[in-house]
Chain A
Amino acid sequence: MKTFEEKYTAWVDGRLSGKELQAFEQEVEGMEAAESDRREVHQLGALLRSHAAGGGLPVLEPVVEFDRAVLDQITASERGWRQAPGSWSSGWLALAGAACLAVAAAGYALLVPKAAVPVPYFAEITSVRAADPSIFATAIQDPSGQVTVLWIDGLDYLPDTYKLR
C-alpha cells in the first residue's frame, strides 16, 4: 500500500495511470489546487535543471593538480595492491599455504615430546661414572626395572669406598 506522499510524487511525475490514477484523483481534495501544485513542481524542476546545466556551479581548479592527485592515488594504491596479500595469485597462495603446513609439521615433530615408546631391547644403558679413568663401568637395566647389572672393567677388586651412585 503506497502512502499518500508516494502516490502524490508518482502523480506529479506522471507515473500514475488507470485505476491508480482514478483512485488518486478521488482521494485528493481539490484537484485544481493539486494541478497548480504540480505545475509548480515542474517549474521548480526546470529551475534546478537549468541551475545544474548552467554555469552556476563552482569550477574545479586547478585541474593539473587534480589530475596529478588522481594519478598519484592510483599509482600509490596499485603499489599497495602489489604488496598486499590480497593481490596474490591463487598459485602463490597455495604455495604459501603448503609452506606454512610444512613448517608447522616440522615444528610439531621437533618440539612436541613424543609419548614413551617401549624399548625393544632386553636392557638399556643408564648413566654410569667411574672416578678412575682407567676403569670402565657399564650398567645394564632390565626394561621392566626389576634388575640392574653393574659391569666394571679394570678392577682387581672392588674397594669398600667405591660406591655406586
Chain B
Amino acid sequence: MRQKRWSTEFLISQSAANLSALSVEDDLALVVRCQKGELVAFNELVGRHRQKAFAMIYQMVRNEEDARDIAQEGFVKAWRSIARFRGESAFGTWLHRIMSNVAIDWLRRRTGVSAGEFDDTKGLQEAAAGARTVPQAVLAAPERLSDAEVRERIDEALGRLSSEHRIVIVLREMHGYEYQEIADQCGCSLGTVMSRLFYARKKLQNLLRDVYENL
C-alpha cells in the first residue's frame, strides 16, 4: 500500500471540503481509495462507522473511555489491514469483526475479576437445574417502565455478566453473530459458546424478567 505522511489538520480540512463528493460514494469505493493509500477516504469511513463501532464495544466493555480507546485502536488496525479487504462482505461487517476482536483482546488482557462477574460453576448448579424444570418467573408488579429505566436496567444487567458471557450475548443477541463466528473470535469451541450463551441467558432472564414481561 502506498504510504504517505499526512498532517491531521490537512486531512480533517480535506475531509470537510470533500464531504459532498464523498457522501455519494459507497463504502466500497472509499475502501478502494484507502487501498491506494488515501487516508482522506479512510477518515470518511471512520466518520460513517465510528458511532456503531463505539456502541458495540461499549456493550462489551461497559466503560465509555475504554470503548473510545478500543474503537480508535480498532480503526488503526482496520487501516493497516484494509489492503487485505476483498469485498466478500460489507465493509461494516468486516470492520465490526475487527472491532469485536480488539474488544475481546482488550478484555482478555484485563486482569482480575470484578465482583459482578458470573461464576460458571455456580451457574452450572443454579441454571442447569433450573433449565430442566424451567425457572419460576419472579412476578413483578405490572408497572410499565420508562425507556430510560429500561435502558438502565439492561445496562445494569449486562454489567453483572462476566466478560465472557457478555461477549457472547452482545455478539449473538444484539448483533446476530453465528455460534461459529463467536467461537472463532473468542478462540474457544462451539460448545463453549453455546454453553456460555445458555448461562448468560439464564442470568439475564432472572435479572430482566420483569422488564420484558411488562413491555
Contact = CB atoms under 8 A, between A and B. Distances in A.
A4 B128 contact: yes
A40 interface: yes
Contact of A40 (B12, B73, B128, B205): B205
B102 interface: no
Contacts of A60: 50-51, 54-55, 68, 71
Contacts of A82: 3
A57 B58 contact: yes
Interface of B is mostly: helix
Interface in A82-114: 82
A5 B124 CA distance: 9
A51 B50 contact: no
B174 A71 contact: no
Contacts of B19: none
B72 A73 contact: yes
Residue from B67, B76, B170, B213 with most neighbouring chain A CB atoms (10 Å): B76
Nearest to A32: B134
A33 B134 contact: yes
B68 A75 contact: no
Given A44-B205, A67-B43, A3 B72 contact: no
Interface in B28-74: 39, 42-43, 46-47, 50-51, 54-56, 58-59, 64, 67-68, 71-73
Interface in A38-65: 40-41, 43-49, 51-52, 54, 56-60, 63-64
Contacts of B213: 43
Nearest to A53: B174
Given A30-B134, A45-B173, A47-B208, A57 B12 contact: no
A47 B154 contact: yes
B6 A75 contact: yes
A38 to B, nearest CB: 9
B84 to A, nearest CB: 16
Interface stretch (A6-14, A129-137, A146-154): A6-14
Contact of A67 (B46, B169, B201): B46
Counting from the closest, the 9 A-B pairs by CB-CB distance are A56-B151, A33-B134, A52-B174, A5-B198, A60-B54, A6-B194, A9-B194, A37-B134, A43-B212
Interface of B: 3, 5-8, 11-12, 15, 39, 42-43, 46-47, 50-51, 54-56, 58-59, 64, 67-68, 71-73, 75-76, 79-80, 128, 131-135, 137, 147, 150-151, 154-155, 169-170, 173-175, 191, 194-195, 197-199, 201, 204-205, 208-209, 211-213, 215
28 contacts: A2-B191, A3-B191, A5-B198, A5-B199, A6-B195, A8-B131, A9-B198, A30-B133, A40-B137, A43-B213, A44-B201, A49-B173, A51-B154, A51-B174, A56-B151, A56-B155, A58-B55, A58-B58, A59-B51, A60-B50, A60-B51, A60-B71, A66-B68, A70-B72, A71-B39, A74-B42, A79-B5, A81-B3
